[in-house]
Structure 1
């Protein structure tokens, strides 16, 4: 798959996930793909950072943009609501050689984001959306840094925006678009509507269209591409506790035998390595607080006693992590119960929007305060 000048050996993209896809997780995914599939073939995107916070040089935001020394291409996702700030952030990325690819997030369904007009609410404002995409493309013109855009089907079933968003993004110079096939009202619940990916692919023909939603095993990715005609897949919750999924995807797309799923002992080694990488990135204290949620995902479906799970949920040091993981039965094979959905799912609900938001889709007014709460990432 080709995204601007970036050629990928497999059409697979790691979705930016807040608090997950930091440099430690991306390094782990890349290491496992190389070890198990013999190559690093996809695109690994860092967790979302806020354009305003980046321009303000917020310390924690700048730390979130850390890439590994051999990480290439370096992919950075921006959350943004303002064309001027978007331009400044993209220009900063160019001038300071911070990344090789810029993605923009218009899919966040979190109420504190949509209530101010950000995330999945913003593509409803067609002209403003176009101005934001155009600003990033203008700032990166002639640099070889492609700009891509990710969005949802729309606000809810009565307000679909994905076809307009895809068309506008392509017209403004985006190198690819990605659709999470849920509405903001669905959040992460229910089933992704892959038919909407197929419709977007038919509607946007000049640039790659990527699909996202309900890919938990490699066969799901192959099925999505066969059913929708999309050019690539974006993997989110499916890789939580399964960073080796990218090796399985690489094998599937390159026509080689899939790697054997890891035993519990191998999963423990992967979790241990993840903890080491997090400690190197954050320091041991914060790194161990961060590994706790990952360990719960790693052990999903595996037999592990309640006391051991409780200890791992409170782990404080690398030595303690190592000691607790060593108590797992190493020869337990990967269980069928470990497959399937993981991470947040929740329930659908009405989308909170700014007062009068739906009145005029052509209103270009930048939503007030929509990026303030995200300063710092």
Structure 2
């Protein structure tokens, strides 16, 4: 732990991140309500859901609503997806010109089939010149406002096509303020175990900007172990905080060398759930908020003694009044279960990554993939 704590504070451009922890952008999860809930527990950098550059340029109403930050949220971090240097540049100019965000992260880790088969997400860093052109365009567009640009990517497309070392070196050379590696390939999706040794290799290759690690950080101990084993400058937390926003308090304590707080009992979890509901209602109105909340129920109650019928009713909740009635039926004294410490969220199975025809022929082809720009934000 001493070695971990002796590291200098994480800096992303001009911003010092005292607790070296970043909330990963997750589609349908990291909206302003969830980010605020997490921030109430601990310091760090909290990134909003993925925003598509095309949707920003076209002023898509749903995307503009997603680009919402809390008044106390600083720096405001936004993840941007795109495949065209010109579109990405235009979107960044809008974002920084209108003061919509203080930090822009670029998405090169999405393993979703509909994205990769068009050359976007985790497929794109294989095209080294195109990747360099996009990072360069974003950095140049953000520079007048002093907004740092970062890049998050995976090990590569599959075991035969690793791209992370090139991606890291290119991002560093083109002026990115930091890089993050999800230590899985696109073919792995979220299955199996993340291999943190790749984070260590990236840290050896990228020497002038922070390198952050992502993958299988489910507890504060995991975070300390990743930093110790991989030598990275901080951790990116995704699925580990699903139904566990208090994880950020545990991470803050761990990195400060304090005792890690004990997990909450079921009564405290119910209070957090109720707070989450209130924040969602404030952001989206009661109808959409309750629909959005339903997917969080299994994560909040993971490992707790909640009967199947009560779980079913929570998963169909439609109002705050109904939520309160259901919360009243919980055993508020039930302690935090050991079973809740493991993996959570999507895992699935590995699979072949479908790519555009001829995609692997020439890694130095700077052509923009046809049809990969998306209007829909959030993943």
**Can you list the C-alpha shifts for 1:299-329, whole angstroms capped at 9, x where unaligned?**
0000101111110111111111111112110
**Can you list the C-alpha shifts for 1:206-252, whole angstroms capped at 9, x where unaligned?**
10000000000000000001001100100000000100000000000
What SS class does the counterpart of residue 278 from structure 1 fall into? helix
The 1:376/1:17 distance shift into structure 2, 3 A limit, reads closer
- Shift in Å, 1:374: 3.0
Residue in structure 2 matching 1:25, options 28, 31, 34: 34
What SS class does the counterpart of residue 177 from structure 1 fall into? strand
Gap regions ≥5 residues in structure 2: 1-9
- Shift in Å, 1:257: 1.8
Maintained 8 Å contact 2:26/2:378: no
- Shift in Å, 1:371: 1.6
Give the structure 2 partner of residue 7 of structure 1: 16
Give the structure 2 partner of residue 154 of structure 1: 156
Maintained 8 Å contact 2:49/2:378: no
Q: Distance in 2 between matches of 1:360 and 1:375?
A: 29
Maintained 8 Å contact 1:267/1:298: yes
Q: Distance in 2 between matches of 1:170 and 1:287?
A: 40
- Shift in Å, 1:373: 5.4
1:94-113 map, 5 Å:
94-113=96-115
What SS class does the counterpart of residue 295 from structure 2 fall into? helix
Matched, 1:16 2:25: yes
- Shift in Å, 1:32: 2.5
CA RMSD of aligned residues (A): 0.9
Give the structure 2 partner of residue 371 of structure 1: 373
The 1:59/1:146 distance shift into structure 2, 3 A limit, reads same
Matched, 1:223 2:232: no
Give the structure 1 partner of residue 176 of structure 2: 174
Give the structure 1 partner of residue 119 of structure 2: 117
Matched, 1:194 2:196: yes
- Shift in Å, 1:260: 2.3
Maintained 8 Å contact 1:75/1:102: yes
**Can you list the C-alpha shifts for 1:334-364, whole angstroms capped at 9, x where unaligned?**
0001111000000000001011100110111
Residue in structure 2 matching 1:141, options 143, 149, 171: 143
The 1:197/1:375 distance shift into structure 2, 3 A limit, reads closer
1:350-365 map, 5 Å:
350-365=352-367
Q: Which TM-score applies when normalising by structure 1?
A: 0.97
Give the structure 2 partner of residue 315 of structure 1: 317
The 1:66/1:43 distance shift into structure 2, 3 A limit, reads same
- Shift in Å, 1:290: 0.6
- Shift in Å, 1:375: 5.6
The 1:221/1:134 distance shift into structure 2, 3 A limit, reads same
**Can you list the C-alpha shifts for 1:31-78, whole angstroms capped at 9, x where unaligned?**
123xxxxxxx21000010100101110000011110001111100000
Q: Distance in 2 between matches of 1:246 and 1:361?
A: 39
What SS class does the counterpart of residue 62 from structure 1 fall into? helix
The 1:207/1:376 distance shift into structure 2, 3 A limit, reads closer
Q: Distance in 2 between matches of 1:266 and 1:335?
A: 13
Give the structure 2 partner of residue 291 of structure 1: 293
Report how many aligned residue pairs link the two structures: 370
- Shift in Å, 1:261: 1.3
What SS class does the counterpart of residue 309 from structure 1 fall into? helix
- Shift in Å, 1:376: 7.6
Q: Distance in 2 between matches of 1:19 and 1:220?
A: 25
Q: Distance in 2 between matches of 1:110 and 1:82?
A: 19
Maintained 8 Å contact 1:268/1:326: no
